[in-house]
Homo-oligomer: A and B are copies of this chain.
Amino acid sequence: MRGRNNLEVIELCPVGRVSKTNLSFQEIEIFEEFLPALDSIENFEYLWILFWLHRVSQSKRRVLKVHPRGDIGRPKRGVFSTHSPVRPNPIGLTRVKLLEREDNILRVKELDALIDSPVIDIKLAHE
């Protein structure tokens, strides 16, 4: 499939989802078929979680300038120079502390994601 600029459209498959969001911890459920990819992750303390900002609509993905922090008193900036969830490819990126792993569940701290957000990748982070 080809999209704009004659480049391949890129297809992602969710590997899990954010299954619990408390103030003190959050949980990520990894889908069974991706379980082997978690092997040894319990030996690491800090992880990058890449997730899909699933509440950002298709029309919002076409918005390229926003008021920083939604403050209309501040001039608009390009979305790449803001932390806005609104962007052409709404991917969330959060560094978390891994508290515990139980089978396909990762219990983490400081995951800034809405419940049910699709998780698309997990990477090792430095301390």
Give A contacts to B, CB under 8 Å.
3-5, 7-15, 17, 31, 33-34, 36-41, 43-44, 47-48, 50, 52, 54, 64-65, 76-83, 87-89, 91, 93, 118, 120-124
Residues of B with C-beta under 8 A to A124: 81-83
Copies in the complex: 2
Contact of A123 among B13, B40, B65, B80 (CB under 8 A): B80
Q: Contact: B10 with A40, CB < 8 Å?
A: no
Identity of the chain B residue whose Cβ is nearest the Cβ of A87 in the assembled complex: B121
Q: What are 25 A-B contacts with C-beta separation under 8 Å?
A: A3-B11, A3-B13, A3-B14, A4-B14, A7-B14, A7-B118, A8-B14, A9-B11, A10-B13, A10-B14, A11-B11, A13-B89, A15-B88, A37-B65, A37-B78, A37-B80, A38-B78, A39-B78, A50-B50, A50-B91, A80-B121, A81-B124, A82-B124, A89-B121, A91-B91
